[in-house]
Chains A and B, each alone.
Chain A
Amino acid sequence: GENVEQHPSTLSVQEGDSAVIKCTYSDSASNYFPWYKQELGKRPQLIIDIRSNVGEKKDQRIAVTLNKTAKHFSLHITETQPEDSAVYFCAASPWGNNRLAFGKGNQVVVIP
């Protein structure tokens, strides 16, 4: 099955700086890559996703890039704010398959 790994496990950034989280996946058939954000004590929520027919997708301060050749995708957060502090999970699955494989999560801490 699919195996997704996230790096680094914890990331601390100064407010206003950028944060980048990278995930690698193992199954070349995977073509759907979502990112979920989980604030302390709350449920995970989808913040952005990308499918393999595009290399990059942006939504305001967040963006995701995909490199299918290298089998990795990254989440970029620009101009970080305290409310960006959370655990971020990446995931991957082949289209047509409901079984998302999640990474172990990254704790992002934005220092005011």
Chain B
Amino acid sequence: DVKVTQSSRYLVKRTGEKVFLECVQDMDHENMFWYRQDPGLGLRLIYFSYDVKMKEKGDIPEGYSVSREKKERFSLILESASTNQTSMYLCATTWTSGGAGELFFGEGSRLTVL
């Protein structure tokens, strides 16, 4: 069974704080993704990584950065949190390289920015 673990299920932060969301997978998957889920807007891709130290912007990268120092860990960073970043954040991984395949999602991290 693939295990994708997100470090925090619920976070409350203040505007301007730096926020780290961590995701760890145990299946040696090359590809890792960060999505944002908002009601009525579906799943929107923020960033993804297809290898260690490699990253690519998704559809809504503004206000976010990522880090992938080790294959199993992919971090999403909000340099200066804002209220419009209040959302559910989902990490996902997939085993395929160069082709679309099943995404395995973490439980999600619900972030509230006050």
A and B pair up? yes
- A residues sitting closer than 8 Å to B (CB atoms) are 1, 9, 32, 34, 36, 42-46, 49, 89, 93-100, 102-105
Residues in A with CB closer than 8 Å to B107 are 42-43
Chain B residues with Cβ below 8 Å from A100 are 45, 100, 103
The answer to whether B41 touches A98 (Cβ under 8 A) is: no
B63-114 residues with Cβ-Cβ distance < 8 A to A are: 90, 94, 96, 98-100, 102-103, 105-108
- Determine the main DSSP class of B at the interface with A: loop
User: Cβ of B100: which chain A residues have Cβ within 8 Å of it?
Assistant: 32, 34, 93-98, 100
B 27-42 binary contact with A (CB < 8 Å = 1; else 0): 0000101000000111
B31 touching A44, Cβ below 8 Å: no
**Contact of B43 with A by CB under 8 A:** yes
Alpha-carbon distance between A11 and B42 when the two chains are bound, in angstroms: 16
Instruction: Verify if B58 is at the interface (C-beta below 8 Å from A).
Output: yes
Q: Most chain-B CB neighbours within 10 Å: which of A43, A45, A89?
A: A43
